[in-house]
Structure 1
């Protein structure tokens, strides 16, 4: 597999910036990277919970018991989501603000706001 280093990307105004994607990717690391293994472990546990719920349904277990497990799964996913949101705010938004680029900082804040709105609706 080869990496296309000539990929064009767009800035916050939608203007194409040739060849900047690789430089940006090399310069920016996501805030959750330091906790990547912890997130992967949590997601594997969540996968197991989901499989367990499916088995409960297949085995025709009592509906309230299934709902209890669905609630636990939902809380586990919310925990992952809030952790990722926290990392985004502390890393991505803060980095954009430190660069002094108001447009980039506002865009990162808007991303966080949109993510919060999606979490609240779910």
Structure 2
């Protein structure tokens, strides 16, 4: 399964990943500075949410494409089942 995101979808995912990257850099800096544990955990949680949202956006796009492909009658039932199983595995890996 290739990662094939359209313009707006791609920008959204990249923005989320850049946000997470900045938050992780901030967490590293906070730890190096000896900042309060609660502040560090709050930033880690924010970075985790940003990564989760990026992953879910990628999976949602895959699901949309999979449903569109299955609605057009392309591919066998086994192909659809394999795609469903792979998307389910990906989704659960983020849960």
- For the aligned pair, the TM-score class normalised by the smaller chain equals 0.7 to 0.9
RMSD between aligned residues: 1.8
Residue ranges of structure 1 left out of the alignment (5+ in a row)? 1-27
For residues 119 and 37 of structure 1, what CA distance do their matches in structure 2 show? Answer: 21
Contact 1:96 1:104 in 2 (8 A): no
Q: Which has the larger radius of gyration?
A: 1
Q: CA offset at residue 119 of structure 1? A: 1.4
Q: CA offset at residue 68 of structure 1? A: 0.5
Q: Which has the higher helix share?
A: 2
Q: TM-score, normalized by length of structure 2?
A: 0.84
Q: CA offset at residue 37 of structure 1? A: 2.0
Aligned counterpart in structure 2 of residue 105 of structure 1, from 58, 80, 83: 80
Aligned residues: 91
- Does 1:33 pair with 2:6? yes
Correspondence 1:79-98 to 2 at 5 A: 79-91=53-65, 93-97=66-70, 98=72
Q: TM-score, normalized by length of structure 1?
A: 0.67
Deviating beyond 6 angstroms after TM superposition, the runs of 4 or more aligned structure 1 residues are none
Residue ranges of structure 2 left out of the alignment (5+ in a row)? none
